Chains A and B, each alone.
Chain A
Amino acid sequence: MATPAPLRVWEKEFLSYRSFWQSNLLGTIVRPLFYLLGMGFGVGGLVENGDRSDAVFGDVSYFQFLGPAMIVTTAMMILVSASLWPIRGGFEWTGTYKSQVTTPITPSEVVMGVGLWHLTYGLISAIGVALVLAFFDSTRAWGLIPACGVAALTGAAYAMPITAWSAIAKTDYSFPNILRFVVIPTFLFAGAFYPISVLPDWLQWFARVSPLWHGIEVARAIVHHSLGFSSGVSVGAGIAHIGYLVVWVVVGWYMSFRAFTHKLAN
Chain B
Amino acid sequence: MITARSLSKSFGDFTAVNGIDFDVRPGEVFGFLGPNGAGKSSTMRMIGAVSPPTGGTLRIFGLDPATDGKKIRARLGVVAQQDELDEFLSVQDNLLIYGRYFDLPRRVCKERAAELLDFVQLSDWATKKVQPLSGGMKRRVTIARSLMSQPEILMLDEPTTGLDPQARHVLWDRLYRLKQQGVTIVLTTHYMDEAEQLCDRLVVMDQGQIVAEGTPAELIRTYSPREVLELRFPAGENEEYGDRVDGIGARHEVLPDRILIYADDGEVALKEVHGRGLDPEAVLVRRSSLEDVFLRLTGRTLVE
Contact = CB atoms under 8 A, between A and B. Distances in A.
A47 B232 CA distance: 87
Contact of B87 (A2, A3, A94): A94
Interface stretch (A95-103, A144-152, A153-161, A213-221): A95-103
Given A8-B101, A11-B100, A102-B48, A95 B89 contact: no
A23 interface: no
Contact of B102 (A16, A20, A103, A266): A103
B84 A265 contact: no
B86 A16 contact: yes
Interface string B66-85: 00011101101010101111
Shortest 7 CB-CB contacts between residues of A and residues of B: A95-B84, A103-B101, A102-B78, A99-B84, A104-B70, A104-B74, A12-B97
Residues of B contacting A: mostly: loop
Nearest to A266: B51
A101 B69 CA distance: 10
Contact of B82 (A95, A103, A264, A265): A95
Nearest to A19: B88
Interface string A18-29: 011000000000
A7 to B, nearest CB: 9
A19 B90 CA distance: 10
B208 to A, nearest CB: 16
A98 B83 CA distance: 11
A55 interface: no
B98 interface: yes
B103 interface: yes
B123 to A, nearest CB: 21
A198 interface: no
A103 B84 CA distance: 13
A209 B82 CA distance: 42
B1 interface: no
B103 A3 contact: yes
22 contacts: A8-B100, A8-B103, A11-B97, A15-B93, A16-B86, A19-B89, A94-B84, A94-B87, A96-B84, A96-B86, A99-B80, A101-B50, A102-B50, A103-B101, A103-B149, A104-B102, A106-B69, A106-B70, A265-B50, A265-B51, A266-B11, A266-B51
A101 B51 CA distance: 10
Interface residues of A, number: 25
A264 B74 CA distance: 17
B19 interface: no
B80 A12 contact: no
A98 B80 contact: yes
B214 interface: no
A186 to B, nearest CB: 30
A102 B76 contact: yes
Contacts of A101: 50
Nearest to B155: A102
Nearest to A105: B101
A104 B73 contact: yes
Contacts of A98: 80, 84
A266 B41 CA distance: 13
B27 interface: no
Interface in A82-103: 94-96, 98-103
Contact of A95 (B52, B76, B80, B149): B80
Given A16-B88, A95-B80, A106-B70, A264 B100 contact: no
A162 to B, nearest CB: 22
Nearest to B71: A104
A264 B52 CA distance: 11
B231 to A, nearest CB: 44
Contacts of A100: 101
Interface in A1-47: 2-3, 5, 8, 11-12, 15-16, 19-20
Interface string B196-235: 0000000000000000000000000000000000000000
A102 B80 contact: yes
Contacts of A102: 48, 50, 73, 76, 78, 80
Interface in A61-76: none
B101 A15 contact: no
Contacts of B103: 2-3, 5, 8, 104
Contacts of B73: 102-104
Nearest to A99: B84
Contacts of B51: 265-266
A222 B259 CA distance: 83
A16 B89 contact: yes
B13 to A, nearest CB: 15
Contacts of B87: 94
